[in-house]
Structure 1
Amino acid sequence: MYGMLLESVQHFVQLEYGEKIWQRALQMSECKYTVFSTHQVYPDHIMASLALSLAKITKKSYDSFMNFFGKCFVRFFSNYGYDATIKATGRYFTDFLESVDNIHSQFRLTYPKMKSPSMYLTEVDENGCVLIYRSTRHGFTHYVMGQLDEIAKDIYNLKLETSVLSTENKTISGQDITIVTFRLNFDNSQYILSKKAENAAHLETTRHLPPFACDLLLQLFPFAIVFNPALIIIGSGGKLVEVAGGKEKLLGQPVTKYFRLRRPKGINFTWKNTFYLKSVMFEVEILRVDLVTGNCERSDEESETLGENLSTREIEIDGKSISPYTLRRDSQPGLRNILLKGQMLYLSDITAMIYLCSPVINDISELPDQGLYLNDLNPHGLSKEMVLAGWQNSSKLQLMFDKAEQRATELENNYSLLNIWKSRGDDLLYSMIPKPVADRLRSGNSSLSTCESFDAVTVMFCELVGFNSSTVEDAMELVSTMNAVFSCFDSLMDTFNVYKVETVGQIYMAVCGAPERNENHARNITDVALCMVKHVKQLQIPSGTKVEVRIGVHSGPVVAGVVGIKVPRYCFFGDTVNTASRMQSTSEPGMVHISESTKLLLPEDPYLIKDRGAVKLKGKGEVETYWVFENTYFSDGTDGDAD
């Protein structure tokens, strides 16, 4: 489907449900597109997936959203002026319903890849009509109902009640087609009265006109076909005879032998269908291969294969095997199938149907492939002028379409890059500032609002020891080693719900309990500290340098907030931070040094805590401190002394 249908969905979902709901629907439906281009073709399943996702989010039904999408499209295409086409179709809603197929045919000039459905009326009365809907798409019944309801209300000021009489799936010409019969109830009395008056005026006018020969119609429409109720061809236009290679090939033959019905979709080429669908525009394809070879023993699938794969097939003429392209090189008429478009008209005096039609020529370059010339087109119509005008404007339009598609592709790529860089920016931001704090700043709050006091957190300082960076080589080795060790530490932080504050030189600082409050802050910091000691011993340093750490831990109140404009940081302040730093500086390699306040917060079971004795801390004097170990520490016979 074209992007305009999905544009309408996006616009009105965002308008009525909000941007957050739309983004959630895109995520749930796994839609890789964040923006839709009007003239770009997208997979059909996207709309159904969006409707299903929105139904889950809003707790509404899937059918209600498909109905809503149909109404959205009718509201949306008014921005492109397409509502004027509907208003110009006829005075009454029934006129529009009878011309839906014709409108779709005209739109295919702008949207050549459009897979439009086929619609026609079978019963019309004062209370409404019966509409037959045929489409290769499945699951769009309520979408069509929404469109019809919105058109009836907004354009024709009618109250429409739609019900589904029947739904069936058929396979016709190798295509799975959904056929839905609708009963449309509305006030149709004015249309019925106008038709009665029109028929009376027609009878009064034609009463004074003498009859004329059917040959005159065949001269006016050189591609016309006349066939009887048995679908036997009893007459054809002169140009059609030239294409067929003589009257003897067409007259007396079934019309289905050399012609295939392309539109209306999902119906067979029968007398009944052509008689009751006279108001519908018919598209009939001339099967050129069968006309040249005389082959008629084929199925619909074989006909389609023969008509579309001429490049891989050779035909036999006068006992010689010749490819279609050889014929073209020899200036013979082209063998490409010709598409005829026109109306079926019933001739009551001879009990026959005449197909008044003209070839569909999209561009002047198609004439040689079809073996046609401008003089073959109807002299009284505008076919020649349209072909020439299309040839003059097609290059400009093609250039515009190519540029539009290129820009749409570039825009889509830019949106993908934007998402990638946004994700990288988020990762960088969250590495400097905690996610809850960063989200608060993004919502418009000032940096002062991030300043908070925390009654109980645990702060850890860890220092790498055993380095000598007196030379450049030593400094490079130090940087490489620090990168390996600190990267290992970073991977441990999320595991224990600990926030890494910063690294200054060889010092690594981490906090638990802020900005997200956590009752187990002391235990989490102790666990990660013990893991850091263990991982450093097991870590393979490329240079072979032996690395050790000394860690200090202290618990207490702090104040935290975002500081700085360039490279802002989430910093911690207070005596707790200073004490933790002193605990680290008085620790020893391979040991975790904790204060008494931290010890009181730790359970006894998973740890072995040994009294270190009084330690002199700067600004604190003599303070009682402790070593903490895992239970497995002493199981190997180690006494745990740090002396």
Structure 2
Amino acid sequence: MYGMLLESVHYFVQKEYGEDVWLEVLKVSQCKYTVFNTHQVYPDHIMADLARALESITTESYIDIMNFFGKCFVRYFSNYGYDKTIKDIGRTFTEFLESVDNIHSQFTLSYPKMKSPSMYLTEVDEKGCVLVYRSIRQGFTHYLMGQLHEIANHLFNLELQTEVLDSQFSDVNGKKIVIVTFRLNFDNEQYMKMKTEKAAHLETTPLSPFSCDLLLRLFPFGILFNPTMAITGCGEKIIEVAGKGGKEKLLLKPITKYFRLRRPKGISFTWKNTFYLKSVMFEVELLRGELMKTNLLECPEEKKSTEEATIEIEGKSISPYSLRRESQPGLKNILLKGQMQYLKDINAIIFLCSPVINDINELPDLGLYLNDLNQHGLSKEMVLAGWHHNSKLELMFDKAEQRATELENSHALLDTWKRRGDDLLYSMIPKSVADRLRSGSSPLSTCETFDNVTIMFCELVGFNSSTVEDAMELVSTMNAVFSCFDYLMDKFDVYKVETVGQIYMAVSGAPEKSETHASNICDVSLNMVEHVDQLQIPSGTKVGVRIGIHSGPAVAGVVGIKLPRYCFFGDTVNTASRMQSTSTPGMVHISATTKSLLPDGKYRFDERGSVKLKGKGDMETYWLFENIL
């Protein structure tokens, strides 16, 4: 659907419910568009998604919301002056309903990719009418009802009541079509009075009958067919286009064999549809390919091979199998546009039409000449003046759509790079701290004191990097080991602070406070020891880790402008570093402070005794093991 429909929803939801509700609707519906462009085409499901989101936020039902959306569109398009177009269609609401398809047809110039529904009336009386609605879109029944109510009320000053009589699905040309029959109740006396007066006028001015041949001479592209959809008469130009023996070729043959219905869209080419849509503009395509096949099959020279059979057009013999549509002059399909009229006297329908020609240069491709067009009307003048020529306008719309697509792609690329930037930022600074900085807070405001955290230092041991080859092996091994550690950090709710050389630092309890920070660090430390023992190093080098842990207060904040880091400061950091430096490979060395914070029965401890730490003196420390009992 075009963006104008969604623009109307955007505008009136903001107006009726407020900006906050609209933002919440976008969030709940997971709509990636924050604004909608009038001439850009969007997926059909967005409208229903927005309605369901608004239903979940408000107390209104989905049906009422879709009805509201339909009314919003009518109110919104009045800003573009389209309400004047509707008022100028006819004097009554019924005349508007009879001409809806014609309105859609006219708007295809401004909205060339519009997939408009089809509507026609089957019954009309003084109390209203019966409307049949057909569309390839499903779920828009109540949206249409909202539009009809708003048009009847505000443009024709009528009170309208709608009732769904029937709803079903049909398959037309491989497409699933929804068909809904409505009963529209309103004051229709004015239309019925006009209809009665028109019929009385015709009765008081009787005219002498004339033959259908005269009618077909007046409309040289006209087609006459009966209720069985068999062709009973053709204009002289249609017969000429059919080639040699054209009259015998077309008469009493099914009209669907040589003609294809192009508009109204979404309906099949049947007697019922053409009868009820007699007030709608039709577009029917003459299939030159089918005519060529008929010429080939009726070739009198039976011995001639299929490859040698030819078709004579304008005195030229051309093989139909060497042709492609529009590849040869005079072989392009002809699009006929006009109105279906029912002839009661002979129980037939005549298609009064003219060929659609964009400009005079297209005539040779169609195999037509200017003198072939109707002598009455403005067909010739329109071709000469180029009134039908809209290629420049279509080109302008194509460019606008291309720019809209490029803008959409740019937004998608921007989102991708923003996400990558966020991932990079969050790898250096905790998400909660980074979001505060992006909201405008100063770096100093990120400094925070934590009463109790647990800090771990881990060092890789077992390397000898005396040569360049050894150094490269060290880097490769550290990458494999530290990547494994990074995975464990997320698993145990531990924040990786930094790596300096072969030292890996992590903390729990900051920046997100946790009551189990000591257990988290101890669990991840024991897993680190276990994973290093099992890790397959590409070079085959046997590495180990020695880990030190201490708990206590600390201060943390963002430091630096270039490559900013989230750093920790305080005596707890220094003590944890000393615990690591005095540890032994494959062991987890913890302080008495950390041991006091661990739950009973979960871990096993071996008392190491008093250990002298630089700058701290003697401290009671322990080896930590997992309790396997």
- Normalised by the length of structure 1, the TM-score is 0.81
Contact 1:613/1:625 (<8 A) preserved = yes
**Aligned partners of 1:391, 1:523: CA distance in 2, in Å?**
81
1:163 to 1:566, Cα distance in 2 relative to 1, 3 A: farther
- Paired residue for 2:220? 222
| Deviations 1:315-338 (CA, angstroms, capped at 9, x unpaired) | 8769x994165599998842x443
1:147 corresponds to which letter in structure 2? Q
Residues 386-397 of structure 1 aligned to structure 2 (within 5 Å): 386-387=382-383, 394-397=390-393
Contact 2:546/2:583 (<8 A) preserved = yes
- Paired residue for 2:534? 538
Residues 114-513 of structure 1 aligned to structure 2 (within 5 Å): 114-172=114-172, 174-195=174-195, 202-203=201-202, 207=205, 217-226=215-224, 235-245=233-243, 246-250=246-250, 258-264=258-264, 265-266=266-267, 269-270=270-271, 274-291=274-291, 322-323=319-320, 325=322, 333-334=330-331, 336-347=332-343, 353-362=349-358, 366-387=362-383, 394-467=390-463, 475-513=471-509
1:594 to 1:414, Cα distance in 2 relative to 1, 3 A: same
**Aligned partners of 1:86, 1:315: CA distance in 2, in Å?**
54
SS in 2 for 1:406: helix
1:340 to 1:548, Cα distance in 2 relative to 1, 3 A: same
Contact 1:327/1:333 (<8 A) preserved = no
| Deviations 1:120-149 (CA, angstroms, capped at 9, x unpaired) | 122333433221112233333223223323
- Paired residue for 1:306? none
1:19 aligns with 2:15: no
2:23 corresponds to which letter in structure 1? E
Task: Give the CA deviation at 1:109.
Answer: 3.3
Task: Give the CA deviation at 1:285.
Answer: 3.7
Contact 1:314/1:324 (<8 A) preserved = no
Task: Give the CA deviation at 1:510.
Answer: 0.9
1:449 to 1:401, Cα distance in 2 relative to 1, 3 A: same
Residues 550-561 of structure 1 aligned to structure 2 (within 5 Å): 550-561=546-557
| Deviations 1:538-574 (CA, angstroms, capped at 9, x unpaired) | 3344455443332221112223333444333333333
Aligned positions, number: 610
Task: Give the CA deviation at 1:525.
Answer: 0.3
**Aligned partners of 2:490, 2:254: CA distance in 1, in Å?**
78
- Paired residue for 1:102? 102
2:522 corresponds to which letter in structure 1? T
Question: How big is the alpha-carbon RMSD for the aligned residues of Structure 1 and Structure 2?
Answer: 4.1
- Paired residue for 1:594? 590
**1:630 pairs with one of 607, 626, 629:** 626
**Aligned partners of 1:550, 1:255: CA distance in 2, in Å?**
89
| Deviations 1:249-271 (CA, angstroms, capped at 9, x unpaired) | 5556665665455544535532x
SS in 1 for 2:89: coil
Task: Give the CA deviation at 1:409.
Answer: 3.3
- Paired residue for 2:300? none
Q: Which runs of 5 or more structure 2 residues have no equivalent in the other structure? A: 298-305
- Paired residue for 2:580? 584
Contact 1:159/1:186 (<8 A) preserved = yes
- Paired residue for 2:302? none
1:613 aligns with 2:613: no
**Aligned partners of 1:414, 1:332: CA distance in 2, in Å?**
43
- Paired residue for 1:307? none
Question: How many percent identity over aligned positions?
Answer: 71
| Deviations 1:334-357 (CA, angstroms, capped at 9, x unpaired) | 2x4433221233456776544321
Contact 2:358/2:389 (<8 A) preserved = no
Task: Give the CA deviation at 1:505.
Answer: 3.2
Contact 1:13/1:22 (<8 A) preserved = no
Q: Which runs of 5 or more structure 1 residues have no equivalent in the other structure? A: 298-311, 636-643
| Deviations 1:34-71 (CA, angstroms, capped at 9, x unpaired) | 87665565555555556556656768655445444434
- Paired residue for 2:515? 519
1:510 to 1:349, Cα distance in 2 relative to 1, 3 A: closer
- Normalised by the length of structure 2, the TM-score is 0.82
SS in 2 for 1:463: strand
SS in 1 for 2:163: strand
